[in-house]
C-alpha cells in the first residue's frame, strides 16, 4: 500500500490535487507537522523533566566530518581584529562556507525533498525554488519544536552495538523496541531512532556514508499514523540506505516530508540517551531562521 | 572601580596571572559561566513553564539584514538535484557563506573577545587562535543553556518605544526596571535587555548599526555580581555604543566575556516577550558545536 | 529585423532547430566565437606589438566594488600558518566566497545567458545546468583569446568624459567612432567600447549600477556581422541598460552569447587605453578553467 | 652558503635591516621581480611568436582536484534566474568558495610566504596581515607578466616520464637540461620546470600531494642569480618536498619569495609544451587583482 503510494508519485501532475495534498493543515500551510506542537504538548514535555539532566544531541561540525557527495564544510578564523581603544579590545570571528542545512547534524525542512517537481502541499519547485532562497517552504517557517521526545533504541532491542549498514528497521523491530521500553508513541512526539551507526562518525567516514541502517517504509508509515512531528536518528539518512527495493531512492524521505509534512533530523548524537536509557524526555529545538533554506544545522536539547 | 579595572587591561602581560584569571572554574576551564547551569537551575526553569507558550528569540537570517563592518551573509539554492529512482526523488540544499557566528542573531563565545592578546582564563591568542579554528575556547565547549530567563524591559521603564542610539542603560535604570517588574536576578540566570532598538532591524539598517542603546559598565557589573550566565538584547552589541568614555571600545564585552566568562547574545527578537510582559521564563539554547568557532547563530526558545 | 529576431526568441521550442542553432561551428560546439582565434589571428596580434607597452584591463576585486543584485564578494585572510621548520616558514592564504565569474571584471561564458530555457547551440538548461557545475558550455571550454583588440572610444567621439546612464550607443555612433579613429573591425577581433562610465566605479556605486550607457541592438548586430570574438566595455552590462524598448531585458546579451557565441567582458578598465589613444593592440586573455562555470574573473592584457 | 643564509633567517629581528632587505627595488617596493618586466623584455617575448601556436598552462579547477591540507574548492550553480522581459532572458551565475589563490593552478604573491614574521622587503606580518586583506604585498600590486618563457624539461633530460616524489632537481640537472635544450636563462625570464608529476593530477591525488619532485636550494639559487621573474612547475610546490634537509620546510619558497621577490607558479599544465619541445615562448599572465590576496588562480598563456 505504501509502496503503491510511492510508485504513484511518479505520475504526479503539476498543480493538480492528489491523494497527498492539499495538506491537512490547509493549502497555504508551510509548517507541516510542526502544527502539532500545542501548549498542551509543551506542558506534556515539561512534565517529563524531573532530574534536570540535559543532553546535547548535536555533533561537532568540523572539516573532517563525513559528508554526502561533494558537499563541503569550511571554517577559518581570520586574522585578529584590533586592538581598539585604550582598553585594547581585540576580537575574532569565523568564516564558514557550507551546505549549512545539509551537513553534519541536520534538520530537513519541507523544501528539501520533492516527488519530481512537487513538494509538500503540492508546491511546484519551478515556482518556489529560487536562487536567492526558497520563496515557500523555507525553514524559517517551522518554528520551535518543544515536545515529548522518545528514543527508540533498536540496537539494544536487537542486542547489538550497531545495526549493520543497509539493515531495514522493520515495523516489527519498531513495535518490539517500544514494547521492550514499555513506551508508546503519541501524536506530536519527536521520535529518535538509535542504531549505533554514529559510532562510525569520524572513526570510519567511508563506512559511515557508504550506506546506513534505518527505518523502512513500513516503520515510517507507523510513525506517520502515530502523527509524530519529527523522526531523527544517528545516521545520515534516518531511513535505510540503500532501500531494499533497488528502484527506490530515499522513499522514506518522500513519505515523511512532502507527503506528510513530518521533519527528519539526521546525524544526531543519540548515544548518551541510549547509554542512560533515557527513552522519554522533553525535546527542545528551533531551526535557525535561515530565510529560504532547505534545512538547518542544530544542537537540539533533550532534558529529563 | 570598573573603569580602573578595564584600564588595567592594557598592561596585561602574556602568560601571567592577573586579577581576572585563572578563572574561578579552574585554570583549564573553557566553559565559563555555563558552569552555572546545574540540574537545580534546570528544574527552576522547568517550573516557570505554566502556559506552554513558546517564543522564538532568533531573527531571520537574510542578505538584507544589517551587518557590522564588512561581514557578509550569502545564501543560494543550487540547481535541483535528481530526480533519482522510480520514485523520482528530487532535493535541494543551500550554500551559505558568512561570518556565521557573528552575523544576525549571534551568541558570543569566549574566543570572540580579548584584552590585547589575552582572552578568557588567561589564554593567549597567539597560542590558540589558528586558521583552522580556535584550539581553545571554541564555542563547541559551551554546552546547553537551560535556565531561568529574565526580560528586563528598560524601554517600558523609561516609557518609550525605543531607547535612543548611544543611550547608556545605567545601574539605576536596571534596578528601576527590575523593581517595576517585581523581579530579581539570580545566579545562573539569563538576562535579556529589551531596548526597542530591534524595531530598526531591516527598516533602517543604517540607523541600526550606527550606534545602539545598551548597558554600560555599571549595569554590567551588577549582572556580573548577580552571577548570571548570559546577557542578551535586541541590539547588535548588547552594550551601549559608543561608550560614554570615548577612549573605550566595547568595554562591557571585555568585562563579561574574558574577565567573567559571561556570554552575550545579540540581535535577539525580544519584542514579543515585551509585548506580553513575559518577564520570567524558561530559556533553552545550545550553541551549534562549530569546532573552534568564536560564536554561534541561534534561535533560542523562551517558554512560560 | 533584429528586434523581430529577438522577439521570436520567446517562441523557441526546446530541442528544435531554429534560425540560430545549430551553431555555425557544429552542433557539438561549446566554444563559439573563440573558434575564430587562429594562428594567423595570433600573428596579426603579435604584429601590433611595437612599443612593449602593457595595459592591465582588470579592475581590483574588493568588497566595496559595485555589484549586481545580491551578489557578494568576501575575502578574508585567515590566521597565519606556521612557523614550520628550523627555517621558520610562515604562510598566509585567503578565503574568497563570491559569484566569482559574475562580479567585478567579468567574462561571460556561453552558459551565462539563455533565451528561455535555450542557450548557445540549442542547449536546454534543464539538461546541462546542474548544481555541481554546468555539464555543457562551462567556461573551461573557451580557451585562450590572443587576438587583435580594438578600443572604440565613443565618449571621445561624443566629446564627453562619460556617456550618460541609459544612453544607447547607436550604429551611427559606432561607425562614427571607428571613422574618427581611422579603424576597422575585422573578423576575430576583440572590441572594447569605452564609455567613461567606469569613472563611477567605487566613487558612486549606486549610480554605477542604476543603469549604464552601452551598445544597443543595432550596434551589436554590426559587431556580429563583423564576426568578432568578444565585446567588452567599462560598464557592468556592456549593453545599454535599460534598453530603449522597455519590454526587452538584456537583449544584446542574447544576441551575442546564445545566438552568436560571441563573448562579453564587463567592467574592464579601459581608461588608460583611451587616455593613450591606444585604439589597436594585441589582446591576451584566457578564462580561469573553472569547471562548469558561467564566467570567469580576469585581468586581461593589452599590449602595443 | 645558501643553506647558511636560510638558517640565518631564524634570527631575523623585526624591523631591522638584514642581508636581504630593503629590496633592491627600494624599501617601499611591493612588486619584487615583476619590476624586471620592461618594454624591451616584452618585445623580446613578442619576437618569440612565430607560429601563432597558443598553449593554456592552467589546469581545470574542480572539486576533485588535489588540495593541500584542509583547503577546499566548492562551486555550485544556483537556480536559474529569470525569465525576464518579453525576450525571456534567463541567466546563471556560480557560487565559489575556496582558498582561491592557493588551490589548483596558483600564483604565489609576496604576501604568501614569510621567514618568521618577516616577509618580502622586511614587512612584518603583524603590521600588514589583516583579516580583510593584506595591507601590503597584496597580489594586486604585481601587474602583468609579459616576457620570455623557458621550459626546462628535466624529466626528458633524466629520460623518465616523471621524476620521483622527493627527487631534488640539482644544479647539475638544471644546467644539464638547459645545455641539452641549447638554451640559456636570462634576466626577466619566466622559467617553467617540467617534472612529469602533473600526470598524477586527478589520477592519483594522494600520491600527488604526498610529496613532489622539484628544484632544491642550489638550483633555485642559480635562477636567483639569473634574475628571473618567476619559477613555475607542474607540481604543487615547485620545490622538492620534503627537502633533503629534514629540518627545513619549504626553504626554496623563502629563498624566492621573501628574499628575492621572485614569484612561484604551481600546478601548471606543462605537458603540452614538453610534448612539443616548446622550450622558448612568449609568456603572458596577469594575476587577478584580488585586493590584499596572497596569490591568484590563473590560466597563463604561452605562445610561440
Q: How far is B94 from chain D (nearest CA, A)?
A: 9
The answer to whether residue D211 scores a pLDDT higher than 90 is yes
Tell me what the mean pLDDT of segment D215-222 comes to: 98
Name which of B6, B77, B259, B287 to mutate to probe chain A: the one with the most chain A Cβ atoms within 10 A of its Cβ. Answer: B77
Task: Collect all residues of chain A within an 8 Å Cβ-Cβ radius of residue D93.
Answer: 131
pTM comes to 0.95
Residue B19 has a pLDDT of 86
SS3 B283: strand
Q: How far is D78 from chain A (nearest CA, A)?
A: 5
Give CA angle at C25 (C23, C31), nearest 5°. Answer: 90
Residue D16 has a pLDDT of 56
The answer to whether residue D189 scores a pLDDT higher than 60 is yes
Tell me what the mean pLDDT of segment C79-85 comes to: 98
Residue B16 has a pLDDT of 56
Q: Which of A83, A302, A94 is nearest to A190 (CA)?
A: A302
Give the residues of chain A that fall short of pLDDT 50.
1-14
Residue B25, CB-side half-sphere exposure with 13 Å CA sphere: 17
Q: How far is C239 from chain B (nearest CA, A)?
A: 27
pLDDT in tens, B15-37: 556 789 999 999 999 999 999 99
Residue C6 has a pLDDT of 42
The answer to whether residue B8 scores a pLDDT higher than 50 is no
pLDDT in tens, D140-163: 999 999 999 999 999 999 999 999
Q: Sign of the C-alpha dihedral, residues A235, A236, A240, A242?
A: negative
Give CA angle at D125 (D121, D126), nearest 5°. Answer: 130
User: What are the DSSP E strand ranges found in chain C?
Assistant: 54-56, 73-76, 81-84, 89-91, 95-98, 106-108, 113-115, 129-130, 133-134, 145-153, 168-169, 190-194, 214-215, 230-233, 263-266, 280-285, 295-297, 301-303
Cα separation, D66 vs D72, in Å, equals 9
User: What are the DSSP E strand ranges found in D34-144?
Assistant: 54-56, 73-76, 81-84, 89-91, 95-98, 106-108, 113-115, 129-130, 133-134
Residues 96-125 of B with CB under 8 A from D: 97
Any chain D CB within 8 A of the CB of B63? no
Residue C104 has a pLDDT of 98
User: What are the DSSP E strand ranges found in chain D?
Assistant: 54-56, 73-76, 81-84, 89-91, 95-98, 106-108, 113-115, 129-130, 133-134, 145-153, 168-169, 190-194, 214-215, 230-233, 263-266, 280-285, 295-297, 301-303
Tell me if C129 and B79 make a contact (CB, 8 A cut-off).
Answer: yes
Split at pLDDT 50, 70, 90, the class of C18 is confident
Neighbours of chain B (3+ CB pairs under 8 A): A, C, D
Other beta carbons less than 10 A from residue D199's beta carbon: 15
Residue C9 has a pLDDT of 44
The answer to whether residue C10 scores a pLDDT higher than 50 is no
Residue D36 has a pLDDT of 98
Q: Kind of pairing, strands D113-115 and D89-91?
A: unpaired
Nearest chain C Cα to A132, which residue? C70
Any chain B CB within 8 A of the CB of C78? yes
Split at pLDDT 50, 70, 90, the class of D17 is low
**Inter-chain contacts counted by CB atoms under 8 A, chains C and D:** 323
Cβ neighbourhood burial of A159 (10 Å; 0-12, 13-18, 19+): exposed
**Which grid coordinates belong to A200?**
562510525
Nearest chain B Cα to C128, which residue? B79
Distances in whole angstroms, Cα of residue C155 to Cα of each of B264, C105, D300: 55, 20, 32
Split at pLDDT 50, 70, 90, the class of D7 is very low
Q: Which residue has the cell 524559517?
A: A140
Any chain D CB within 8 A of the CB of C205? no
Tell me what the mean pLDDT of segment C76-105 comes to: 98
Any chain D CB within 8 A of the CB of A84? no
Tell me what the mean pLDDT of segment D163-168 comes to: 98
**Which grid coordinates belong to D50?**
612565430
pLDDT in tens, D276-294: 999 999 999 999 999 999 9
Complex ipTM tops 0.90: yes
Residue C3 has a pLDDT of 36
String of DSSP letters for D270-289 = -HHHHHTT--EEEEEE----
Residue A250 has a pLDDT of 98
Residue B18 has a pLDDT of 78
A284 pairs with which residues across the strands? A146, A301
Residue D156 has a pLDDT of 98
The answer to whether residue C4 scores a pLDDT higher than 90 is no
pLDDT in tens, C196-216: 999 999 999 999 999 999 999
Cα separation, D272 vs A167, in Å, equals 51
Q: How far is A247 from chain D (nearest CA, A)?
A: 28
Q: pLDDT exceeding 70 applies to what percent of chain D?
A: 94
Q: What mean pLDDT is reported for chain B?
A: 95
Q: Which of B47, B143, B25, B303 is nearest to A52 (CA)?
A: B47
Residue C156 has a pLDDT of 98
Q: Which of C99, C109, C49 is nearest to C230 (CA)?
A: C109
Name which of A288, A294, A298, A301 to mutate to probe chain B: the one with the most chain B Cβ atoms within 10 A of its Cβ. Answer: A288
Cis peptide before D219 (omega within 30 of 0): no
Residue A189 has a pLDDT of 99
Cα separation, A304 vs A282, in Å, equals 6
Tell me if D70 and B132 make a contact (CB, 8 A cut-off).
Answer: yes
**Which grid coordinates belong to A130?**
529560487
Could you say which of B78, B97, B132 has the minimum Cβ distance to residue D77? B78
Tell me if A77 and B254 make a contact (CB, 8 A cut-off).
Answer: no
Cβ neighbourhood burial of A8 (10 Å; 0-12, 13-18, 19+): middle
Residue D133 has a pLDDT of 98
Tell me if C80 and A76 make a contact (CB, 8 A cut-off).
Answer: no
Q: What are phi and psi of A54, to 5 degrees?
A: -110, 135
Q: How far is A75 from chain D (nearest CA, A)?
A: 10
Could you say which of D51, D77, D130 has the minimum Cβ distance to residue C292? D77
Distances in whole angstroms, Cα of residue A174 to Cα of each of A219, A235, B210: 7, 16, 56
Name which of C6, C30, C48, C93 to mutate to probe chain D: the one with the most chain D Cβ atoms within 10 A of its Cβ. Answer: C93
CA of residue B56 relative to chain centroid, distance: 15
pLDDT in tens, C51-70: 999 999 999 999 999 999 99
Cα separation, C216 vs B13, in Å, equals 66
Q: Which residue has the cell 567585478?
A: C104
**Inter-chain contacts counted by CB atoms under 8 A, chains A and C:** 27
Nearest chain B Cα to A287, which residue? B299
Name which of C68, C74, C79, C81 to mutate to probe chain A: the one with the most chain A Cβ atoms within 10 A of its Cβ. Answer: C79
Other beta carbons less than 10 A from residue C221's beta carbon: 19
Could you say which of D70, D74, D81 has the minimum Cβ distance to residue A97? D74
Q: H helices within C35-182, ranges in order?
A: 39-46, 125-128, 154-158, 171-180
CA of residue B104 relative to chain centroid, distance: 11
Tell me what the mean pLDDT of segment B37-50 comes to: 98
Task: Collect all residues of chain B within an 8 Å Cβ-Cβ radius of residue A77.
Answer: 129-134, 292, 294
B106's enclosing H/E stretch is: strand B106-108
Any chain A CB within 8 A of the CB of C86? no
Amino acid at each position: 500500500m505504501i509502496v503503491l503510494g510511492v510508485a504513484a508519485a511518479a505520475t504526479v501532475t503539476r498543480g493538480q490535487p492528489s491523494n497527498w495534498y492539499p495538506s491537512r493543515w490547509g493549502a497555504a500551510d508551510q509548517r507541516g507537522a510542526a502544527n502539532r506542537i500545542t501548549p498542551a504538548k509543551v506542558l506534556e514535555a515539561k512534565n517529563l523533566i524531573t532530574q534536570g539532566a540535559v543532553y546535547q544531541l548535536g555533533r561537532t561540525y568540523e572539516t573532517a566530518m563525513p559528508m554526502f557527495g561533494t558537499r563541503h564544510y569550511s571554517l577559518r578564523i581570520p586574522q585578529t581584529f584590533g586592538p581598539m581603544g585604550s582598553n585594547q579590545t581585540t576580537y575574532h570571528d569565523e568564516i564558514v562556507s557550507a551546505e549549512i542545512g545539509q551537513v553534519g547534524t541536520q534538520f530537513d525542512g519541507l523544501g528539501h525533498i520533492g516527488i519530481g517537481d512537487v513538494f509538500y502541499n503540492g508546491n511546484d519547485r519551478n515556482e518556489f525554488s529560487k536562487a536567492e532562497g526558497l520563496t515557500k517552504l523555507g525553514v524559517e517557517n517551522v518554528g520551535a519544536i518543544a515536545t515529548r521526545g522518545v528514543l527508540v533504541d533498536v540496537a539494544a532491542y536487537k542486542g547489538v552495538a550497531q545495526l549493520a549498514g543497509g539493515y531495514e528497521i522493520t515495523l516489527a523491530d519498531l513495535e518490539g523496541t517500544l514494547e521492550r521500553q514499555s513506551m508508546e508513541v503519541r501524536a506530536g512526539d519527536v521520535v529518535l531512532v538509535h542504531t549505533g551507526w554514529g559510532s562510525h562518525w569520524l572513526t570510519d567516514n567511508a563506512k559511515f556514508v557508504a550506506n546506513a541502517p534505518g527505518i523502512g517504509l513500513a516503520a515510517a508509515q507507523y510513525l506517520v499514523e502515530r502523527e509524530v512531528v519529527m523522526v531523527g536518528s544517528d545516521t545520515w539518512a534516518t531511513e535505510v540506505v540503500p532501500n531494499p527495493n533497488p528502484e527506490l531512492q530515499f522513499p522514506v524521505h518522500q513519505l515523511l516530508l512532502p507527503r506528510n509534512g513530518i521533519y527528519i533530523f539526521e546525524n544526531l548524537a543519540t548515544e548518551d540517551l541510549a547509554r542512560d536509557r533515557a527513552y522519554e524526555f522533553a525535546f527542545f529545538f528551533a531551526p535557525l531562521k535561515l530565510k529560504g533554506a532547505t534545512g538547518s544545522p542544530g544542537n537540539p536539547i533533550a532534558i529529563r
